[in-house]
Chain A
Amino acid sequence: MFQAFLILFISILSVTMLYPFLHVTSISLSTPTEALRQGFHFYPKEITFNAWERVLQSNTVWMTMGNTVFRTVVGTVLTIIFLSIGAYPLSKKYLPHRNAFMMIIIVTMFFGGGLIPTYMLIKGLGLINSMWVYVVPGLVSTFSLIVLRNFFMSIPEELEDSAKMDGANEFRVLFSIIIPLSKPVLATLALWSAVGHWNAWFDSMLYIQDQSKIVLQLFLRRLVIANEGDPMLPVPSIEQTPETVKAAIIIFTALPILVVYPFLQRYFVKGVMIGSLKG
């Protein structure tokens, strides 16, 4: 039966995809000796929480995570708002100068000034060392904007017509009709934005000098790269980060994002366009 083969195939695929995660988790819970053992690591032979303790007990981890949470939440919410109010007008063929607007936007996907001019701009705007540098410069993702716009274009106009005939203006239409119909796509774009914010570290490194405002990823990167240098040194006076701690860091970073799937489930409601397509 098709279902049987399907489930078998997906199972095999899932196992391969699950393995690296198990591998790293297992190492994070292993003793340093065990961590170096060649071969598979499905589960730790002896569980030790040392590595996790080091990660979780660090004050800096929690402080920087607070910053990351701020940027993820505020950044994603603002992004979704901007994407919506940007994509909707662009999806209407009767928008004046629509092509010009599209050109302006598309050009930015391919041409950009680079590191130095961007830094100068951020500096000129006074965003250096400000938490807002995490949110504002990255507000609009052109890729997402275009995806959303094209999605809006596939929503039949008839759905708006009745509301418009009742005298609703475009804001109304956008918020009460279009957005509810776009929940799955918006949820996806929100997810992309959130993951982007969660994993970002480069802007933190470049624009933030105040160490209390850096993001989690930057701090964790430092731990992983820290003092990685000359293997020829005898016992280094400043401890190198052991493999087990590096493993714990990797899992720690990825975990919160995985909690997202249940979130997605709520918005991927099937059949939201019931009755929308006729014949």
Chain B
Amino acid sequence: MKQLSRGWIGTLALVLCASLIMSACSSGNGNGGAATNAPKNSPEASAPAKDEAPIEIVWANNFNSPEEDGNYVQTEIEKKFNVKIKNVKLERGTWREQFSVLLASGDIPDIFPVDANETDMALWADQNVIASLDQDEVKSHMPKAAAAIAEVDEGAWGVGIYKGKNWGIPKLWPNGLSGFLPGYNEAWLKNVGYDAPPTTLEELEDVLTKFVNEDPDRNGAKDTYGMSARGKLPIQMFTSVFAAYGVSPYQFKLDDAGQVVWGGITEETREALALLNSWYKKGIIHPEFITSDNGELNTAFVNQKIGVIDNAGWGNFNKLSGYISKPADDVGINYIPGKPLIGPAGQMNAFTYGARQAPVLLGKQLEKDEKKRHKIYEILEWVATDKEGYFLTAWGQEGVSYDMEGDFVVGRTEEEVGATKLGYGYFYNPLGHIDTSKDIHKTHPDDLERKALLNEGVISLVDVLGPAVMETKSQYWANLTTLQDTFIIKAVTGEANTEGDFDKFKESWLRAGGQAVIDEANAIYKERQQ
């Protein structure tokens, strides 16, 4: 016994010793994070403007990280703006771990990774890691970017507001305003007597019923369903039906009184679920939607088990698109688009993710470093809106990594001139998508035409807030989402009903923090309106 307790004491002593020694050794640069971003390798970096020494910018990003430092795009930017860029190259998928250890050792970059979301923004704002930026200053130094943003969604300026301050440069994904459109197996439609896709919800139901009963793939067996859904990502399930009711269960919307409400507990959702349940009972919905992801949906459509896909956008109707179009084309199926169905909401609604994203964040040290800050504004504006800067950072070098076909850019695919070799692909252009005037270069004229055609007359169902930092969210969101995901699936399969059970769900949701979330959402909405 004595041996043992001596053992424990000895151990504890050792632990304490070791830890203290090791932490002392290694924590040299661990504390006082924000202020210690003195660039370690370039002594001339903070020299005054007199001798025009290049300003060093620490550029972190996780998208298309270039393989080498001193790559083509980087050197071009350095030359033009008289800066020195220090790359912080992060992984696409696992950048958070990489980035967190960098922050922990006090290496705060000047430009933050593009995939940072609004929760990260809030966290970093609280921890004094990012800089608060004056919106008017941003607008005056980046007029073209501001104009581009105004064209798409002026409300994007509200996303960066947290605790009364603005924390970044607004970032947009305009394609997010294009919504999901239903797509059909053309041969199936014809075989059940439809020359054109259905336009109303009733017609859709008729089509789907016929898909089940009238052997649309003409193989002599009753082995087909109308549609399936992405059970693994509930926000994308049955969007065509929910949209026809004017709602998405996973979005905030405004009710008739102008208040922000949560789609999942509205009457429209209840009615939509009732309809979906009736379809499920009729055998229209593939029961395996529960375990389906895009891969399974792709396979099901291509193998003629379902005839409708409703979680694809205009881009997927390009015959080369890897989701549905090309695979279907390869086996002789013509995947054609339809317009959103008109239902009780009376108009063609399409579920969209919206264009708003978390803003591009800058490191805390830039609050004091005006020269560098302005330089960064200048660079970001140039690469995002100026034709030369855009082409450079998006595609590289003409004649080397891309060629022009009229206005459209055709990239070359050899490995030696790949994105990560030359440094293009938006690593140096985090705001790369805000400017819609660049669409003619990014998107083939045929696709642009298709986009215009398909989106004509379509009303986007967008979340009324978009990305928003909510304290209540970090507290309750995971549970609320689980609660809703589980209920919606049960409501469709009939395990839960849409009368009493829906009321119970609504009540639980509100009680489990939902009410607090809605209240906060309303507060934020009002704040942004000012």
Contacts and interface: CB of A to CB of B under 8 A. Distances in A.
The answer to whether A and B touch in the complex, with CB atoms under 8 Å apart, is: yes
Interface of A: 32-33, 36-38, 58, 97, 99-100, 102-104, 107, 115-117, 119-121, 123-125, 202, 205-206, 209, 211, 221-222, 225-227, 230-235, 237-240, 242
Listed from nearest, the 8 A-B pairs whose CB atoms lie closest are A124-B26, A234-B315, A33-B330, A232-B313, A100-B7, A119-B101, A120-B26, A231-B323
B97 A238 contact: no
Given A120-B105, A123-B26, A225-B92, 19 more contacts: A36-B327, A37-B302, A38-B299, A38-B300, A38-B302, A100-B7, A100-B10, A115-B100, A120-B27, A205-B98, A206-B98, A209-B89, A222-B92, A226-B92, A230-B175, A231-B323, A232-B178, A237-B411, A238-B64
B316 A232 contact: yes
Contacts of A232: 175, 178, 312-316, 323
Contact of B415 (A58, A238, A242): A58
A233 B315 contact: yes
Contacts of A239: 413
Contacts of A231: 294, 312, 316, 321-323
Contact of B7 (A103, A116, A123, A202): A103
19 contacts: A33-B327, A37-B302, A38-B299, A99-B4, A116-B100, A120-B26, A124-B26, A125-B26, A202-B94, A205-B91, A205-B98, A225-B93, A231-B316, A234-B318, A234-B443, A235-B318, A238-B425, A239-B413, A240-B322
Contact of B11 (A100, A123, A222): A100
Contacts of A117: 23, 26
A104 B89 CA distance: 38
A123 B28 CA distance: 10
A135 to B, nearest CB: 19
Interface string B314-344: 1110101111000100110000000000000
A129 B407 CA distance: 43
Contacts of A211: 67-68, 89
Contacts of A205: 91, 94, 97-98
Contacts of A123: 26, 29, 105
B419 interface: yes
Nearest to A119: B101
A104 B30 CA distance: 27
A100 B318 contact: no
Contact of B101 (A115, A221, A242): A115
Interface string B7-33: 110110011000000110111111000
B419 A235 contact: no
A236 to B, nearest CB: 8
Chain B: interface size category: 35 or more
A100 B25 contact: no
Given A100-B11, A103-B8, A225-B93, A32 B330 contact: yes
Contacts of A37: 302-303
Contact of B447 (A100, A121, A234): A234
Contacts of B331: 33
A121 B104 CA distance: 12
Contacts of A240: 322
Interface string B275-312: 00000000000000000001000111011000000001
A240 B100 CA distance: 28
Given A36-B327, A104-B11, A233-B315, A124 B28 contact: yes
B3 interface: yes
Nearest to B22: A121
B409 interface: yes
A209 B27 CA distance: 20
Nearest to B103: A116
A227 B322 CA distance: 13
Contacts of B4: 99
B245 interface: no
B490 interface: no
Nearest to B18: A104
Contacts of B144: none
A24 to B, nearest CB: 14
Contacts of B294: 231
Contacts of A115: 97, 100-101
B506 interface: no
A225 to B, nearest CB: 5
Contacts of A100: 6-7, 10-11
B438 interface: no
Nearest to B19: A113
B321 A235 contact: yes
A226 to B, nearest CB: 7
B444 interface: yes
Nearest to A242: B322
Interface string B446-472: 010000000000000000000000000
Nearest to B11: A103
A99 B26 contact: no
A32, A120, A225, A240 pick with most chain B CB within 10 angstroms: A120
A96 B8 CA distance: 15
Contacts of B372: none
Nearest to B91: A205
A225 B318 CA distance: 23
Nearest to A39: B303
Contacts of B93: 221, 225
B442 interface: yes
A234 B26 contact: no
B120 to A, nearest CB: 17
B101 A116 contact: yes
Nearest to A234: B315
